[in-house]
Amino acid sequence: MSLHPTTDRLPMTLPRIAEKKRLGEPLVMVTAYDFPSAQVAEAAEVDMVLVGDSAAMTVLGYDSTVPVSMDEMVMLAAAVRRGLKTPFLIGDLPFGSYEASDEQAISAAQRFVKEAGCDAVKLERGGSSVHRAKAIAAAGIPVMGHVGLTPQTATALGGYKAQGRTANRALDVARDALALQDAGCFSLVFEAIPAAVAEELMPRIEIPVIGIGAGAATDGQVLVFHDLLGIHEGLSPRFAKRFANVKVEMVAGVKAYAEDVRARRFPAAEHTYSIDPEELDDFRAAFGAETALSSWEGLEGF
C-alpha cells in the first residue's frame, strides 16, 4: 500500500453514501485523529472518516471520552482534514458541546465545518439529542446519530456494556434510531447491540447505518483506528478485531534505535553530511584564528 495512491478517487459525498446503501455495497468507516492517521485512511481508500471523541482516550490519555473539549476536537479534526482528500469527514460533537440548547449544538457543529473543514458532525443518544440533530440538520449541516452504547453517557447506561439486550431496552434503541432518522440524520451508528436486534431494525431504517459491535446486517462498519491496528494496550471490547499489532512494531523500532545510539552504531556515515576538504581546512584555520584571538582578548583585563 502506497501513501500516495495513484487512483483518482472521487470525493465521497452524501449522494454516493446513500447510493452505496441502495446498491448493498458495504460502507467502510474508520476513526482518525491526526495528519498521519488521516493519510493512512486516505491511502487505504476508506469511505468515511470519523474524528471520534474516542480521541480523548486513544490520543489524549483521558480515562473516558467525557473530558475532551470542543477546542481539542477542532484541533484534531483540522489536522485530519489536512491529511484527507476523498473520504467523507465527520466531526464527533464532544460531551457538553451540544446538549444545553439548539443554539449551542448549531454553533459547535459550525465550528467543525468552518474551522476544521468537516463535511458532517455526529452526536450521541436519542431523547433531547433528537431535537439537537433536527436543529443542526435545519442549519444545513449533515448530522449522524449514534444509538445503543453511547460512551458519553455510559454511567447512566450502567457502564460500557452492550445495550438492547431485553425487549424493553431493544425498544428504546429502536425508538431512538427512528426518531433520529425522522429528525433528518443522514446516517446512524449502532454501537454494541445484539446482532439480532440490528437485523430487526434494518428494514425500518432508510438511511445508511454504520455498525460497531452490532453484527453484520448494518450497511457498513466502523472501528477505532488504534483498536484495529493494535496501537494501544489494555482491554478492548469484543467487537474490536485487531488487524495488526502496530504498537509491538513501534516499541521494537524505538528500542532498536536506542540500542544503536548506546552502542554508537548510529549515526553511520550514510546518515551524515559531508564538506569539501578544502572548505574544512579553511574553516579550521579561520576558527583556530578566531578562538586564539578571543582567548587573547579574554586576558586583556589582567
Of the candidates 219, 248, 285, the residue with the CA atom closest to the CA atom of residue 22: 219
CB of 257 to ligand KIV, least distance (A): 31
Nearer to ligand KIV, 5 or 73 (CB): 73
**Strand pairing class (220-223; 27-31):** parallel
Three cell numbers at 223?
472501528
CB of 42 to ligand KIV, least distance (A): 18
Of the candidates 161, 166, 129, the residue with the CA atom closest to the CA atom of residue 146: 129
Nearer to ligand KIV, 42 or 92 (CB): 92
Q: Which of 45, 191, 249, 290 does the annotation list as catalytic?
A: 191
CB of 250 to ligand KIV, least distance (A): 21
Nearer to ligand KIV, 147 or 174 (CB): 147
* 191 is known as an active-site residue: yes
Omega before 267 cis (within 30°)? yes
Q: Which residue is nearest to ligand KIV (CB)?
A: 52
Of the candidates 141, 190, 189, the residue with the CA atom closest to the CA atom of residue 14: 141
Nearer to ligand KIV, 152 or 181 (CB): 152
Using CA atoms, how far apart are residues 251 and 6, in angstroms rounded to an integer?
31
CB of 283 to ligand KIV, least distance (A): 55
What is the amino acid identity at position 100? A
Residues 6+ apart with CB under 8 A from 111: 70, 74
Taking CA atoms, 218 is separated from 127, 160, 185, in Å, by 23, 21, 16
Which residues of this protein are in contact with ligand KIV, per CB under 6 A?
Answer: 31, 50, 52-54, 92, 189, 191, 212, 222, 224
Local structure of residue 299 (DSSP, 8 states): T
Nearer to ligand KIV, 5 or 62 (CB): 62
Q: Are 120 and 153 in contact (CB under 8 A)?
A: no
**What is the rounded end-to-end Cα distance, in angstroms, of the chain?**
69
CB of 191 to ligand KIV, least distance (A): 6
Q: Which residues are catalytic?
A: 191
